[in-house]
Structure 1
Amino acid sequence: MKYTKHVFVCTNDKEAPKKCCGSERGMELVNAFKEGLKAKGLDIEIRAQRAGCLDTCGKGPSVVVYPEGVFYGFVTPEDVNEIIEKHLIGNEPVERLVIA
């Protein structure tokens, strides 16, 4: 397997009145994950990329980490480093952001 983990960030945009991750900082989160992983030298083993709808619109912006399949909701740029440190490096999900 080329990557040990994948981080998918919803960047989908939908018409109002439905909330959408794209307009709620989706691409900002993609870029924050990419920059954070690169700064730690992890971008060769962990990939972060944009994704279409993750079907968690009301809890967006949303992120899913594979292979674990852990979904995160209401993610902000300030949460990215915590997800990288605790989950992507430490293999411990950030419980306060996990979508049950």
Structure 2
Amino acid sequence: MPVFEHHVFVCQNSRPEDAPRASCTVDGKSELLAELQKRTRAASQAGFLKGPVRINKAGCLDQCEHGPTVVVYPEGVWYGGVTAADAAEIVEEHLVNGRPVERLRIADDCLNAKTCPHKS
């Protein structure tokens, strides 16, 4: 049995404004991380989660063009353009009900691809 039912990584990478690639945060912090942690804690205390869930901050996940980026394991579901306002939906739909939030998913053919519609 895995240590965590879900392990969620939230990119906190920050680059200078003139960097060639985008940043997931301006200052290495984000309301998104705090909101995911808060919502997950509440779902756990209410008994909605089947097992423990860990929300971790991550350095660069190398999906900068899709940022802010979140990845959920063990499913390996990648989300892009995620905001704090999306945290409740990710927790309820994905972590509680097991249904990835399709509108936020990064297309598989864009992950680690040299080209995709989001890269310049």
The two structures have a TM-score, normalised by structure 2, of 0.76
Aligned structure 1 segments of 4 or more residues deviating by more than 6 angstroms: none
Partner residue of 2:95 out of 50, 64, 88: 88
Report the counterpart of residue 21 of structure 1 in structure 2.
Answer: 24
Q: What 5-or-longer segments of structure 2 have no aligned partner?
A: 108-120
Partner residue of 1:61 out of 55, 68, 71: 68
- Aligned sequence identity (%): 45
**Distance in structure 2 (CA, Å) of the matches to 1:75 and 1:22:** 11
**Distance in structure 2 (CA, Å) of the matches to 1:37 and 1:74:** 20
Report the counterpart of residue 83 of structure 2 in structure 1.
Answer: 76
Q: Name the larger-Rg structure.
A: 2
Report the counterpart of residue 46 of structure 1 in structure 2.
Answer: 53
Report the counterpart of residue 5 of structure 2 in structure 1.
Answer: 4
Query: Which structure has more helix as a fraction of its residues?
Result: 1
**Distance in structure 1 (CA, Å) of the matches to 2:24 and 2:70:** 10
Contact 2:12 2:58 in 1 (8 A): yes
The two structures have a TM-score, normalised by structure 1, of 0.90
